[in-house]
Amino acid sequence: MAQLKLPRDERITLRAAAHHLDPVVLLGASGLTEAVKKEVGRALDAHELIKVRVPSDDREERVEIYETLAEELGAAKVQLIGKLFVLYRPNPDKDKKEVPAEKAPAEKKERKTGAKARNQRKRLTEIIQAEKKGKAKSLPWASTVKKGKTPKGQVKAVGEKGTPLGKRLARKGFSK
């Protein structure tokens, strides 16, 4: 097989993608054997982009292994740093396997941020959970402020003990 050539921009993108990868194949003391070549081929089929570690201290030997693997497996040489090198070979089977429309991820809506939106989401979640349990009144924030009716039919905030908030202030000596 011939070695795959990549444009510079694609090589740079692949280097960035391979940065966080761990080596998939580790060469042993025997060096480059047929079993190692098969394993690198399997890893390329599974991952497309892989790192390989060569324990040899001889730089010329490492470069030769790098060249040989790329040539025999039809892979692109992406990067060679010390004892690690990165190979890339696109998998034609992955292009054929498209995600069906039912299983395709839905487009994400932009989520509102901030304290007000966060509190609203929290309350909606609590209401949904309470409805599932059948306890709509057991919400922690529902018991702190009760709604009471004044003689004129207006809704007015009432404290925990049931007295209107205005009367509580009047008892303490404050007047309106």
119-138 pLDDT, tens per residue? 888 888 888 877 777 655 55
Domain final residue, candidates 53, 71, 91: 91
Residue 138 corresponds to which amino acid?
S
Q: What is the pLDDT of residue 145?
A: 46
Is the residue at 78 inside a domain? yes
Give the burial class of 75: count Cβ atoms within 10 A of its Cβ; 0-12 exposed, 13-18 middle, 19 or more buried.
buried
Number of domains the chain contains:
2
Residue 132 lies in a domain: no
The answer to whether residue 115 sits within a structural domain is: no
Domain that holds residue 30: 8-91
Does the pTM exceed 0.75?
no
| Same domain assignment for residues 87 and 154 | no
Is residue 99, in this structure, part of any structural domain at all? no
Q: Please tell me the distance from the alpha carbon of residue 154 to that of residue 147, in angstroms, as a whole number.
A: 10
101 in a domain, yes or no? no
Taking CA 9 as the corner, what is the angle to CA 6 and CA 12, rounded to the nearest 5 degrees? 90
Nearest to 41 by CA among 78, 83, 73: 73
